[in-house]
A and B are shown apart, each in its own frame.
Chain A
Amino acid sequence: AQKITQTQPGMFVQEKEAVTLDCTYDTSDPSYGLFWYKQPSSGEMIFLIYQGSYDQQNATEGRYSLNFQKARKSANLVISASQLGDSAMYFCAMSGTSGGGADGLTFGKGTHLIIQP
């Protein structure tokens, strides 16, 4: 079975600083995808970035980058130059070719990020 662990329940960061959100995963699948989503208080899950297990380069999307360390099974999200609008819940998730029958995403419990002015 797949598992995602996010060890930071909450984080406070000063505006304009960089922030790293931790994510470790466990899977026996040889092929999988890793995703980060942002969930503001409005409730919608917003896709941020994707990393494939066979990708050689770390994924980047604007201010977001994914620090993928396959041997350590970690997929940390890095937000550069944080903004007040970045305050939200952040979820790490993974897909796989097997998952005990469940073929959707497996999510972690999330990290509540608060950006302070």
Chain B
Amino acid sequence: EAGVVQSPRYKIIEKKQPVAFWCNPISGHNTLYWYRQNLGQGPELLIRYENEEAVDDSQLPKDRFSAERLKGVDSTLKIQPAELGDSAVYLCASSLDSGARVTDTQYFGPGTRLTVL
């Protein structure tokens, strides 16, 4: 079974440039998450999707970040314009909604390491 796929793996851009990250979840997983992991820290949730609906985006900086999950499968996270402080690893995860979310195991992709110069 294929895992969560993310691309690109690495991205280097200059500040004020736009950038986009792509995620393909595990087949059949209806819940998708985007996390940001700063250096030396654990991941922090940015947004959660159930199918194509963003059910929790309270942690997403909406002035420059946007996300979409068309057709409830692939997802794209965008930053425009990027700032120096956006340098981090952006992780995508997916889970199969069992109806009791506390037990749902999230499976992560390899992440995209973003460097903003």
Interface residues of A (CB under 8 A from B): 4, 29, 31-33, 35, 37, 42-47, 50, 52-53, 91, 93, 95-97, 100-105, 107-110
Contacts and interface: CB of A to CB of B under 8 A. Distances in A.
Contacts of B116: none
B55 A105 contact: no
A103 B47 CA distance: 9
B48 A103 contact: yes
Contacts of B56: 101-104
Contacts of A31: 100, 102
Contacts of A104: 33, 35, 45, 48, 56, 93, 106
A117 B67 CA distance: 45
A32 B110 contact: no
A47 B111 contact: no
Interface residues on B, range: 20 to 34
Interface string B79-117: 000000000010101000000111111111111010000
Interface of B is mostly: mixed
Contact of A45 (B41, B43, B55): B43
Contacts of B28: none
Contact of B44 (A29, A42, A95, A107): A107
A107 B42 contact: yes
A44 B42 contact: no
B107 A95 contact: no
Nearest to B89: A43
Interface string B36-75: 0000111111001000000110110000000000000000
A103 B45 CA distance: 8
B43 A107 contact: yes
A102 B105 CA distance: 16
A103 B111 CA distance: 20
Contacts of A101: 56, 58
Contact of B42 (A42, A93, A100): A93
